Structures are given as C-alpha cells and as structure tokens.
C-alpha cells in the first residue's frame, strides 16, 4: 500500500473520447497457464498489462524453490494447480491479505486426485508447500459449485495433463459460470475438448496444441466507462479492443447499463457507449455470472438515484477485501446505502438480497480502497458529480495500470495530494 492520495475532479465538459483498453486479465492468465502446460513458448499478443498478469508471466518463466505472487489471487489459485504437476518441491506464498484468503477447497480437491500439498501456516490458507505429484490415479472428483470459479478453472486446465483426465462434478448452484465457460473455450482453442452434461464436466487426457493467440480487451475495465456514460446525457465514449462476441461474462454490462440509460453499438475496432437514453426507475440484477461488476453498479445506482435490488453476491466477501462491507462504508460517505435485506424477504432461503438506496451527495469525500483495485475504479466515476479523493490509488496496477491516464482523456483531472 502506498501513502499517495489522488484528488479527482472533472472539467465539466461532455464525456467524449477514445479509450484503448488493455487485454483481458482473465483471458491472459488462462492463456499463460495453458502455454506453460503445453511446453511451447508460443506468442500471446495483447497480453494484459495488469500487475497480476505480469507477475504470473514472470513466475511461470522461473524455476525457483519459492514463488511469491503478492496480492494476485488468480495467479495463486492457478499456480497451486500448475505447480502440483511440476517436479521438485516449491513454496507458494503471497501478500498478507493473500495469506487470509481461503485456498483449502482447491488444495483438498487436488490432494484427492494425487497432489502432495501441505499448509505451512493455518490449515486451509497459504502459504503452501507443494511437492511432486503422488501416485493416486483417481480421476473422479466432486467440488462445491458455489466456490470461486478460479478453483474450478485451475482444476480444469491441468485436467488434460493427468494420466486419466478428469471427471469433475459440480455440486449445487454454479457461481460465475461464464468464467468456467471461458476456461473451457480457451482450452478448446488450444486443442483440448470436453463434455459438459448437467453438473458433470469430463476432460480426457490430451496434449495442448500450441499456436499464437490474440487476447481481447477487458470487459471488466469497460465497466467504469459505462458508469461514467450513465451520468452524462451527452456522453460518447469509444472503447477499443472489445467485441460483442466474447467469452467474458462481464459483457452483461450491455443489458445492465441499457437500463441505466447507456446504449452500446459496435464500431470498427471496438464499441461505442452513448449516454442520454431513458433510465429505468429501478434496477434488479443477479450478479452470479458477473460478480466483478457489482461495486461499479452499486456506485452507478447511487449516482443516478436509482434504487437497486441485487443478489448473487456470495463471492464478494472473499475477494481482495470484503467488498460488501467496504462498499457499505465508502458509499455511506456520500449518503448512499447498501442494505442487506432480511432473510424473510426472499422466497428462496439460500438467496441473499442487497438494496442500494439514496442519492450520492459529493462533498470532497476521501475513499479508502482496502488494497482492492476495483474499489478505487468503481468509485472514481463519482468525480463527474463533484470532487473526490482516492487513497492508495496505485492499487489499480493489479488489473488496469493505465486507468488514471485513460480517464484524463475524458476530461478528468488527477492530482496527487
């Protein structure tokens, strides 16, 4: 964490400009693991500039006794599975926050099918001691489907390298299904087939077929510009590198923000966001397929004084921070309330609903970021309504290092305090 604070303001002009988005972190990280598993150094073009991706790329090129991923959660989860197949013994560790993020369900799943992994600290949490794969030949595995999709993706990507492949049963409600579909789609790009019947995914032993690959731009990063466009009736923002045909579940931005007054059209080389369309009086959405959009949409609804009713937020408490609690505190600073609804509100007892209520009143608030890149970027569009301050702004390097430069292309001013 840095001691910096950025003061963010806007010049009052319409939000008109062109943003050259970087490659998708989710796709980049999966492509890097697949390349390493293929054993061939093929070209990955448009690789994400995010710190997470750069760290993973560097670590996969190393042969070390200890791997430190810092705060990169995706990298830790993918490397847990990848390193379990490698010869020798390695320690896998990360930042202080990473040591508090649960990894037990992935580790125990890997151990059931032959991995040799020990916890070096608290059981179920990093750091890990990962040894050479054991002798088990079990290829049937059941895992709760409501855990992080990254656990499931980590297992799927190593599956074709196992002697007997893998038959993976997902138990219960599947969380973040688009990320699992993305993983399987990328694996198919590199020659590995699968079958998905109901809750069961089957992958046979197969070699990845190396070939040069182009990473598409990041739909998660697009969310912040959708939020800005929703606030400006005259907005016209071109986001380069995106396509309406995508594996990324965060393309759910299109129907969500259509309800918030933003129209999306495809242009050469990307998409165009246009503000000023009619807004719905209320937004109801289940974020099960796109949890990374939730913080941005919380802030958007508060800015527009649109009441929101949201579910599918189960994984937000185990991200870089507890994103529910963090957003409750920070939005409260501008008189926007994120309220957990009573259990009796839902006919389905397993669902938890949250409501956004209030209208953002911006009076130079200072927002904490909790070592969470999405906290910083989700709250920044509020600067279109009035001056704000962002603590530890360089946290955006985790996924979008160019963010502060890019928003200045739309008339925002960024000054270090």
Catalytic sites, residue numbers: 292
**Cα–Cα distance measured from residue 196 to residue 269, given in angstroms and rounded to the nearest whole number:** 33
**Cα–Cα distance measured from residue 400 to residue 52, given in angstroms and rounded to the nearest whole number:** 10
Asked whether 354 and 339 are in contact (CB, 8 A), the reply is yes
Other C-beta atoms within 10 Å of 41: how many? 10
Q: Which two tokens stand for residue 341?
A: 């609804």
**Cα–Cα distance measured from residue 172 to residue 3, given in angstroms and rounded to the nearest whole number:** 43
CA distances from 210 to 18, 31, 35, 183 (A): 34, 10, 7, 16
Sign of CA dihedral 11, 13, 15, 21: negative
Helix, strand or coil for residue 375?
Answer: helix
Asked whether 215 and 46 are in contact (CB, 8 A), the reply is yes
H helix intervals, 39-115: 51-60, 73-84, 104-112
User: Cis ω on the peptide bond leading into residue 66 (within 30° of 0)?
Assistant: no
**Cα–Cα distance measured from residue 120 to residue 124, given in angstroms and rounded to the nearest whole number:** 10
**Cα–Cα distance measured from residue 59 to residue 64, given in angstroms and rounded to the nearest whole number:** 9
Q: Which residues of 355-378 are buried (b: 16+ CB within 10 A; e: fewer)?
A: bbbbebebeebebbbbbbbbbbbb
Q: Which residues of 74-86 are buried (b: 16+ CB within 10 A; e: fewer)?
A: bbbbbbbbbbbbe
Containing 286, the helix (H) or strand (E) segment is strand 282-286
**Cα 166 to the chain's mean position, in Å?**
26
Q: Which two tokens stand for residue 210?
A: 């190396």
Find all residues with CB under 8 Å of 292, minimum gap 6, and list them.
220, 223, 250, 374
Q: Which of 230, 227, 197, 266 lies closest to 374, judged by CA? A: 227
């Amino acid at each position: 964490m840095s001691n910096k604070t950025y003061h963010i303001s806007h010049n009052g002009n319409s939000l008109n400009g062109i943003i050259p988005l970087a490659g998708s972190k989710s796709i980049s990280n999966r492509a890097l693991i697949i390349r390493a598993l293929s054993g061939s150094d093929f070209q990955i073009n448009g690789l994400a500039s995010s710190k997470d991706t750069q760290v993973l790329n560097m670590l996969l090129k190393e042969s070390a006794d200890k791997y430190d991923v810092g705060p990169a959660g995706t990298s830790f989860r993918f490397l847990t599975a990848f390193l379990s197949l490698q010869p020798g013994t390695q320690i896998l560790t990360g930042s202080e926050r990473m040591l508090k993020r649960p990894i037990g369900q992935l580790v125990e799943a890997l151990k059931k099918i032959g991995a040799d992994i020990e916890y070096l600290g608290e059981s179920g949490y990093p750091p890990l001691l990962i040894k050479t794969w054991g002798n088990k030949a079990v290829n049937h595995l059941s895992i709760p489907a409501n855990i992080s999709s990254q656990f499931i993706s980590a297992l799927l990507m190593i599956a074709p390298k196992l002697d007997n492949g893998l038959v993976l049963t997902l138990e219960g409600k599947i969380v973040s299904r688009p990320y699992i579909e993305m993983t399987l789609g990328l694996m198919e790009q590199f020659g590995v087939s699968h079958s998905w019947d109901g809750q069961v995914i089957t992958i046979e032993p197969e070699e990845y077929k190396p070939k040069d690959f182009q990473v598409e731009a990041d739909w998660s990063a697009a969310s912040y510009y959708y939020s800005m466009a929703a606030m400006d009736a005259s907005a016209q923002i071109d986001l380069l590198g995106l396509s309406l045909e995508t594996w990324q579940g965060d393309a759910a931005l299109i129907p969500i923000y259509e309800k918030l007054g933003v129209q999306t059209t495809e242009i050469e080389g990307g998409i165009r966001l246009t503000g000023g369309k009619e807004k719905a009086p209320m937004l109801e959405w289940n974020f099960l397929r796109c949890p990374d959009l939730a913080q941005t949409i919380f802030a958007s609804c508060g800015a527009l004084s649109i009441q929101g009713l949201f579910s599918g937020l189960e994984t937000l408490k185990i991200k870089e921070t507890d994103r529910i609690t963090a957003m409750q505190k920070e939005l409260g600073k501008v008189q926007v309330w994120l309220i957990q609804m009573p259990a009796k509100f839902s006919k389905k007892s397993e669902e938890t609903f949250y409501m956004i209520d209030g209208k953002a009143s911006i009076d130079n608030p200072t927002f904490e970021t909790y070592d969470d890149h999405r906290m910083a970027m989700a709250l920044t569009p509020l600067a279109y309504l009035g001056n704000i301050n962002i603590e530890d702004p360089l946290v955006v390097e985790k996924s979008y290092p160019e963010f502060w430069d890019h928003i200045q292309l739309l008339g925002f001013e960024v000054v270090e305090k």
